[in-house]
Amino acid sequence: MAAGTAHIADEELESTFLEELAALERFRIAYTGLYPGTPLSREDPDVRRLLEGMALFSARTRLAADRGLHRSVVRVFRQHFSYLLGPAPALGMLRATPTAQFVDAAELPRGAEAVLIDPATGRGGEARAFRFRTLGRLRVLPIELAGVNLLRVRGRGYRILLRFTQAFETRLELGELSLHVNHLDDLASSIAVLHALEAHCTGASVVFDADVHEDTAGTPCEVDFGPPSRAGHEISRADHPLRDARAALRFPRQDLYINVRGLAPRRSFRRFTICLDLDEGWPRELHLNADGLELFVVPIVNERIDMANPIEHDGTRERHAVRHPDDGARFVPSTVLGVYRIGSDGLAPLEPAVVPDRLSGGAGAPGARRESYDLAYEGRGDQRRAWLALSLPGAVEKPQRVAVEAVWHQPSIRDASASDLAVRLADRYIAGVSWSCSGALSPPVESEIEDDRDSLFELLSLKSQRALGPDELRFLLRALGTRSQPLFDRLVSALAGADMGRKPFAKSTSGFKCVYRLEFEGLTPSELPRLHLFCRKLLDVLRAWSVEEVVELVARVSNLGEELRFG
């Protein structure tokens, strides 16, 4: 056990020991008052040793019972809320920068692995490697954003020109381009820029190999704002709607994109310009430049799905540690996806011990012990450990080998700086492309409710409620980790009221749609762009969480007289 964890455990034991000792002392005083002739003097060393021994035994028993109860509670809740109870891994943005040697389009699939190397800040000055995987598909093209211009269009508003070039004249298949908004490397500014573009953009067009002016007509194309579209088959075993919402609330930068579709050149070209037409309401003081719009950027997460070291179970050990094969990388288990018995026919899945026998799918005689497993997690951060308890009848006579599949992350990246990290791809090489991190990393965070039994029961009660009030919404959002993102935590604190109603809706199976109406107080106009992004994510949370069919959210900011609708 680490020194910090041991210190906390010692403090807890000492506090409980003193409570038990005080209770025994009160009992001794009361007893000697009733029976004065009883030799129970406090000064008697034998009496003192007896009291201290009883107090220590009671303290250890009490703590063991309490921890056992908490483990049982967490074990049950982990079956329902595993995406909320484990730690959340580090997140970042991976950027590809084509060089003059890059001539052909290349694609990085979702789930591709990137290695971030911290040169010499590890223990003893050793370099450390942190393994990330991409959360989306990334298509890299031999083009660059050469410039951004803002033109005033008389009587119609404004026009933003995004000028792109390539080294040679070719007929490059563009398809869709996604530009990541990173204005001044500041999250609040980037959200404000994206919101302004979304609010005031009236259309988009593209012009190939021609000079563009305020009245130049181009080929119409589609534009939207938010995360790039994901193919339906791009789903990981670790994905869950609330898990995705938890990541988005912690790290909103992964949603700050301008997506342009329908870029179809009819012949070879050397340059092209995307024109974004804006209405008269565009804020004139807002000036964009090429540095604030990044091509070829994709979110990444410090997470791997790997098999742990095989476990040899002979029935003589109460539990086994779940360890990653690469000890030097200091991987820590976030959650376990499956436990399998290794047999001659391959891997046979074991059932969790929390599944009742009557629901078990295993065959066997009535009353016979079934094969099952139980998991317990201890510690936080680098000291988090997963322990596996196995119930394998006959393992004493015939030892069994067990495989564990888990999700792993590296909490030690917390003290690494993105600007100091060297980046490369782990399992592929794309010639002529350099890799780097765009902006800072979001460090890993621990679950706020995993060690809080009262919060776990409150979470269970929320799951069965038809509608959530402001207090319940605040609790759910903070369970999702909004405290780690100050911009959103401020909005959670400003939530003053919540109400859910029903309206007729022909597309719903029930014939009605549920509408959440939220009231916010004390916000400033500069916080409205953040509220837009926050409410979109909140609607995703409500749709994934609620037992009702939530399809619309209305947010009112009373002090500003604003009403926002989503869904």
The 550-557 sheet, strands edge to edge: 495-504, 512-520, 550-557, 562-566
- pLDDT, mean over the chain: 90
Determine, yes or no, domain membership for 485.
yes
Q: Are residues 433 and 335 in the same domain?
A: no
> Residue 264's pLDDT is what?
92
Q: Are residues 181 and 223 in the same domain?
A: yes
What is the signed CA dihedral for 13, 81, 299, 495, rounded to 10 degrees? -90
Residue that is last in its domain, among 259, 274, 295:
295
- pLDDT 10s digits, 489-498: 999 999 999 9
Instruction: Map tokens 């791997």 to a residue.
Output: 304
- Determine the Cα–Cα distance for residues 359 and 247; give it in Å rounded to an integer: 33
CA geometry: angle at 324 spanning 323 and 330, to 5°? 100
Joined together, the tokens standing for residue 256 give: 């700050």
Alpha-carbon Rg for the chain, nearest whole angstrom, is: 29
Q: Are residues 60 and 114 in the same domain?
A: no
Q: Are residues 125 and 241 in the same domain?
A: no
23 DSSP 8-state letter = H
Q: Are residues 164 and 283 in the same domain?
A: yes
pLDDT of residue 2 exceeding 50, the answer is: no
Helix (H, G, I), strand (E, B) or coil at 385: strand
> Residue 96's pLDDT is what?
98
Query: What range defines the domain where residue 15 resides?
Result: 3-85
Are the C-beta atoms of residues 473 and 498 closer than 8 Å to each other?
yes
Which CATH number characterizes residue 541's domain?
Answer: 3.30.300
Determine, yes or no, domain membership for 360.
no
> Residue 492's pLDDT is what?
96
Q: What DSSP string runs through 476-538? A: HHHHTTGGG-HHHHHHHHTEEEEEEEEEE-TTSTTSEEEEEEEEE-S--GGGHHHHHHHHHHH
Instruction: Map tokens 């009535």 to a residue.
Output: 366
pLDDT of residue 506 exceeding 60, the answer is: yes
| Angle between helix 45-85 and 453-463 (nearest 10) | 30
Q: Are residues 147 and 284 in the same domain?
A: yes
438 to 252, 321, 347, 388: CA distances (angstroms)? 14, 37, 41, 39
Determine, yes or no, domain membership for 363.
no
Joined together, the tokens standing for residue 479 give: 């369970």
Q: Dihedral sign for Cα 22, 23, 27, 30, please.
A: positive
Are the C-beta atoms of residues 63 and 13 closer than 8 Å to each other?
yes
Q: Are residues 383 and 489 in the same domain?
A: no
Side-chain-facing half-sphere of 133: CA atoms under 13 Å: 15
Count CB neighbours of 220 within 10 A: 12
Q: What does the pLDDT average to over 380-391? A: 93
Q: What does the pLDDT average to over 157-182? A: 95
Are the C-beta atoms of residues 95 and 296 closer than 8 Å to each other?
yes
Band of pLDDT at residue 23, cut at 50, 70 and 90:
very high
Determine, yes or no, domain membership for 447.
no
- Determine the Cα–Cα distance for residues 73 and 256; give it in Å rounded to an integer: 39
Q: What does the pLDDT average to over 502-525? A: 86
- pLDDT 10s digits, 251-306: 999 999 999 999 999 999 999 999 999 999 999 899 899 999 999 999 999 999 99
284 to 152, 159, 196, 215, 523: CA distances (angstroms)? 10, 12, 11, 19, 23
> Residue 5's pLDDT is what?
40
pLDDT of residue 72 exceeding 90, the answer is: no
Determine, yes or no, domain membership for 229.
yes
pLDDT of residue 361 exceeding 60, the answer is: no
- pLDDT 10s digits, 435-445: 999 999 999 99
Beta bridge partners of 219: 206
Determine, yes or no, domain membership for 7.
yes
- What is the count of structural domains for the chain? 5
Q: Are residues 156 and 189 in the same domain?
A: yes
Q: Are residues 26 and 158 in the same domain?
A: no
pLDDT of residue 183 exceeding 80, the answer is: yes
Q: Is 32 exposed, middle or buried (0-12, 13-18, 19+ CB in 10 A)?
A: middle
Q: Are residues 191 and 120 in the same domain?
A: no
pLDDT of residue 12 exceeding 90, the answer is: no
> Residue 509's pLDDT is what?
67
Joined together, the tokens standing for residue 89 give: 């891994």
Q: What does the pLDDT average to over 309-324? A: 94
- pLDDT 10s digits, 132-162: 999 999 999 999 999 999 999 988 899 999 9
Q: Is 452 exposed, middle or buried (0-12, 13-18, 19+ CB in 10 A)?
A: middle
Determine, yes or no, domain membership for 362.
no
Determine, yes or no, domain membership for 549.
yes
Residues 6+ positions from 393 with CB-CB distance below 8 Å: 368, 369, 370, 371
Are the C-beta atoms of residues 410 and 416 closer than 8 Å to each other?
no
315 or 10, which is more confident: 315
Q: Are residues 399 and 379 in the same domain?
A: yes
Are the C-beta atoms of residues 379 and 385 closer than 8 Å to each other?
yes
- Determine the Cα–Cα distance for residues 424 and 433; give it in Å rounded to an integer: 10
% the chain with pLDDT above 70: 93
Helix (H, G, I), strand (E, B) or coil at 9: helix
Q: What does the pLDDT average to over 485-489? A: 96
Pairing of strands 512-520, 143-153: unpaired
> Residue 384's pLDDT is what?
94
Side-chain-facing half-sphere of 7: CA atoms under 13 Å: 3
pLDDT of residue 362 exceeding 80, the answer is: no
Are the C-beta atoms of residues 494 and 523 closer than 8 Å to each other?
yes
Q: Are residues 268 and 286 in the same domain?
A: yes
Count CB neighbours of 58 within 10 A: 17
